[in-house]
Structure 1
Amino acid sequence: MEKHTNESQSRARYLRLSTHKSKRVLEQIKGKKYNEARLILEFMPYRASKIIIKVLESALNNLEQKQSNKINREKVQIINTFVDKGPILKRFKARAQGRAFPIHKPTCHITIKLKI
C-alpha cells in the first residue's frame, strides 16, 4: 500500500516580479492557515499578491491530488514560503546624444509549501 504524505508544494518560475517585492507579501502569510492567508492576499494592494494566490491554490490542489479523500481547508497550514532570484532580463533605453542606459528587469521563482 502506498504511503501518502501530508505535505505538498507549488513553484512558479520566471515571474516578472522583484524578489524584494514578492518577499514582502510572502512574509505576511508564512505560518498561517490557508483560509486566513487567502483572505489576506485578496485585500493586499500589491501586484505580487494576485500571482501568489495562484501559487497557493496550485499547492492546495497538489495536496488534494496526493490525498484520496476531500481535504478540510481550515486545517491546511502554510509551512514555508520563499523567493529565489531568477535571471535578469537586460534591456537598453535610448537616451540623449546617442547614449544608451541599461535597464534590468528582474525575475523570481516563488515556492509555497503546505501541510495538513
Structure 2
Amino acid sequence: MLKRLKKKKTEVRALGQYVTLSADKARRVIDQIRGRSYEETLMILELMPYRACYPIFKLVYSAAANASYDLGSDEANLRIIKAQVNEGTNVKKFKPRARGRSYAIKRTTCHITIVVKDISLDEYEEIDSLKNPRWEKKTMVYHNVSSSGVVWDKK
C-alpha cells in the first residue's frame, strides 16, 4: 500500500495595510517580537513606549484570532515565525505657510505582516495515495479507421 505525506496548514497570517507609520519606526518594534511566543509578545508590546506598538499589538491579536478560528489552536501554542514591514505609499498634503506659500507634508505608510504558527500540530499527515490517483485510465476506441489511417463512411 502506498502512502504519501501531505503538509498540513499550520501557519496563519494577519496583514495590516496602509498603517500611518514610518516603516523604520515599525521595524524596531518588529525586530523585538520576531521568533517569540504569543503571550511573551503581548507583554513586550504592552510595555514598550513606542507609538508603533499599538497597531502591531492589534495585528498579533488578529493573527491569534485567525489561528484559533482556522486551525482551532490554543493561544499558548502559538509562535510568531515571520514578521515583516514593507513601505507603503506616501500621502501628500499641502499646508499653507507665510506669504501665501504652500508647504508639502508627506505622511509615510507601511504594510505590516505577522505570520503565526501553531507548534503543537504535526506538520505532515499521511494520506492514502490509492484513494486519489493522479492519473485515470482512459481507453480510446477508434471507429471506421483502416490501418492506413483512412476513415470510411457508409453512404
TM-score normalised by the chain length of structure 1: 0.89
How far 1:94 moved relative to its partner? 1.5
Moved over 3 A (4+): none
Q: Residue 11 of structure 2 aligns with which residue? A: 7
**CA–CA distance in 1 between the matches of 2:54 and 2:15?**
15
Question: Considering only aligned residues, what root-mean-square deviation do their CA atoms show, in Å?
Answer: 1.6
How far 1:103 moved relative to its partner? 0.7
Segments of structure 1 that go 5 or more residues without pairing to the other structure are: none
Name the SS of the counterpart of 2:89 in structure 1: coil
Q: Residue 112 of structure 2 aligns with which residue? A: 110
Contact 1:4 1:66 (8 Å CA) reproduced: no
**CA–CA distance in 2 between the matches of 1:91 and 1:66?**
41
Greater fraction of residues in helix: 1
**CA–CA distance in 2 between the matches of 1:96 and 1:12?**
38
Q: Residue 54 of structure 1 aligns with which residue? A: 58
Name the SS of the counterpart of 2:76 in structure 1: coil
Higher relative contact order (CA 8 A, sep 6+): 1
How far 1:73 moved relative to its partner? 2.3
- Residues 78-89 of structure 1 correspond to what in structure 2 (within 5 A)? 78-89=80-91
Contact 2:68 2:75 (8 Å CA) reproduced: no
Q: Does 1:72 align with 2:74?
A: yes
Q: Residue 100 of structure 1 aligns with which residue? A: 102
How far 1:22 moved relative to its partner? 0.8
Name the SS of the counterpart of 1:87 in structure 2: strand
Q: Does 1:25 align with 2:29?
A: yes
**CA–CA distance in 1 between the matches of 2:98 and 2:84?**
41
Indicate the structure (1 or 2) with the bigger Cα radius of gyration: 2
**CA–CA distance in 2 between the matches of 1:74 and 1:65?**
15
**CA–CA distance in 2 between the matches of 1:24 and 1:33?**
18
How far 1:4 moved relative to its partner? 4.8
**CA–CA distance in 1 between the matches of 2:18 and 2:74?**
31
Q: Does 1:41 align with 2:60?
A: no
Segments of structure 2 that go 5 or more residues without pairing to the other structure are: 1-6, 119-155
> What is the percentage of aligned positions where both structures have the same residue?
40
What is the aligned residue count? Answer: 113
Q: Residue 15 of structure 2 aligns to which amino acid in structure 1?
A: R
TM-score normalised by the chain length of structure 2: 0.68
